A and B are shown apart, each in its own frame.
Chain A
Amino acid sequence: MSIQKTYEEINEKIRRGEAVVLTAEEVSQMALTATPEEIAEKVDVVTTATFGAMCSSGAIINFGHADPPIRMEKIRLNGVPVYEGLAAVDTYVGATACDPENPTYGGAHVIQDLIDGKDIELEAWGKGTDCYPRKHIKTIINKDSVNEMILFNPRNAYQNYNVAVNSTAQMKYTYMGSLLPNMRNATYSTSGELSPLLNDPDMKTIGIGTRIFLGGTQGFVVWPGTQFNTSKPKNEFGVPVSNSATLAVIGNLKEMSSEFLQAAYYEKYGVSLFVGIGIPIPVLNADIAKNVSIRNEQIHTTVMDYGVVGTPVLGRVTYAELRSGEIEVQGKKIRTAPVSSLSKARKIADLLKKSILAGEFEITKPVQMFPTNTSLKSLKEVKGGE
């Protein structure tokens, strides 16, 4: 009889302190000697995690009303332009927003300063209306002075990501780091066998409403992320071989910590935000057990040339090869370097495991599963658009 568990049965075990929880790396080791059936029988939850730069991130903030009130139509936080089209005193701080005069400090830095409890200068302008007569305000805000601070990231936790190399004779500065000329280095992201969506490639347990670890507190998956793509080719182990599915996530920024949310600046590229995400995968059956058992040597990804427009594909490698420190692409040996933090991802997977074991974190059945047949559109240039 094959094992079949429900979310509620697993939560009952979590409440009784009887649940067996492993990290995705631990279960991959266990799978070397145990069958998926045995794993499904013994293990209840597997924790996955990632800590990488995720540009499509940001924060919704409500400042509260001043007296007399202002309808903010242009807003700066520590000089960083933030969104002004959300009612009178709401804003969205995009992680990558910045003043071109000060490119190394952007929205991500505002977000980090806020969670670190620092004071931020708010300056805003409005035209003045009958109900919002004020035209200008310059004041100080912080985590305690504002009403809400909500992290809402439209595209995080990419399911797999490309390896970047640069075949040109010049250094290329990218979000995948500084790429040395003539393919002298290769950079890769994702935490491989620990990465959330690589452990649930068909998203059988992750969907809308899934409770997750986000930036140091509990958050939720609220939607498939933007550029959600289920039509990328998969390898023989069922995982897509390049960037495919994504998650839109939300959580209370006031409860988050800069240990798991870090502002970043990439030379000649711009600002981004390192986001720490952990996702528990309930081992409901042997199929899911098989998925979470995936190992780095079974996960392939695509090597792309970031030096050339159109990023042509140069080859395919496994995460085991990437982690070895050297890959071979078109007969050339190339030194590898990660650009997302595996040590932080491990810390998150471990923290999530501990909070499930302590009964502080229960798993959630998604209220709706993700679409299974999506592909990407590109932006067409239409005549007359100039």
Chain B
Amino acid sequence: MTLQKKRYVLKFPPQSGDKPLSYHLVRDFDIRINILKAEVRPGKTGSLVLELEGTAENLKNGIAYLEENQVSCEPLNKKISWNQARCIHCGNCTAVCFAGALEMDHQKWELQFDSEKCIVCELCVPACPLNLFHIDFRE
């Protein structure tokens, strides 16, 4: 069975915070979970950006399980675009990119952007003094 990796933005209501949802995803659906971003505040709506890895069937069932528990589950439909042609390679964006997607190449000291590592935390958008990062919304 081939495994698929997909990224989702999960939004869950205040009352769902006490259910071990990720435990069930792992145990019942054999889904590997990588938490990319988490904003969970007790008593308030929370959101999680997750990378889920599993078979197509298990992913589908796992998502259905989350939705049964009032957790909305949208595919991560944003990505960061970088205007490379205008980049002056100052490095300001690398200071805030703790996902390691934006790093300076230590030979040429030019910026490298690995979109696979990007978790769309959006910190680079205001950090760039030339305003070269933008958020793209895709289907």
Contact = CB atoms under 8 A, between A and B. Distances in A.
Interface string B96-139: 10100000101011100000000000010011011100000000
B17 interface: no
Interface residues of A, number: 31
| 5 tightest A-B CB contacts, nearest first | A264-B129, A337-B95, A338-B91, A267-B126, A342-B109
B38 interface: no
Contacts of A167: none
A337 B89 contact: no
Interface stretch (A134-142, A178-186, A212-220, A355-363): A178-186
A292 B130 CA distance: 32
B130 A341 contact: no
Contact of A341 (B89, B95, B127, B131): B89
A272 interface: yes
A52 B90 CA distance: 8
Nearest to B96: A178
Contacts of A344: 88-89
A277 B19 CA distance: 60
A262 B129 CA distance: 10
A325 B105 CA distance: 11
A262 B88 contact: yes
Given A53-B90, A179-B95, A265-B129, 4 more contacts: A53-B129, A178-B127, A187-B95, A262-B88
Given A339-B95, A341-B88, A344-B89, A177 B127 contact: yes
Contact of B94 (A53, A264, A337): A337
A178 B95 contact: yes
Contacts of A104: 131
Interface residues of B, number: 20
Contact of A51 (B88, B94, B126): B88
Interface string A252-279: 0000000000111111000010100000
A76 interface: no
Interface string A325-358: 1000000000101111111101000000000000
Nearest to A263: B130
A186 to B, nearest CB: 8
A323 interface: yes
Nearest to A180: B96
B92 interface: yes
B134 to A, nearest CB: 14
B106 A325 contact: yes
A338 B104 contact: yes
11 contacts: A178-B123, A180-B95, A180-B96, A267-B127, A274-B129, A339-B91, A339-B95, A341-B89, A341-B91, A342-B109, A343-B89
Contacts of A340: 90-91
A178 B95 CA distance: 7
A339 B90 contact: yes
A364 to B, nearest CB: 29
Contacts of B106: 323, 325
A177 B124 CA distance: 11
B95 A177 contact: yes
Contact of B110 (A179, A272, A325, A343): A343
B83 to A, nearest CB: 13
Contacts of B104: 337-338
Nearest to B86: A262
Interface string B24-67: 00000000000000000000000000000000000000000000
B129 A266 contact: yes
A338 B109 contact: yes
Contacts of A266: 129
B92 A339 contact: yes
Contact of A338 (B90, B96, B123): B90
Contacts of A262: 88, 130
Contacts of B89: 341-344
A187 B126 CA distance: 16
A286 B129 CA distance: 41
Interface in A214-264: 262-264
B46 to A, nearest CB: 21
A337 B88 contact: no
A187 B129 CA distance: 14
Contacts of B90: 52-53, 274, 338-341
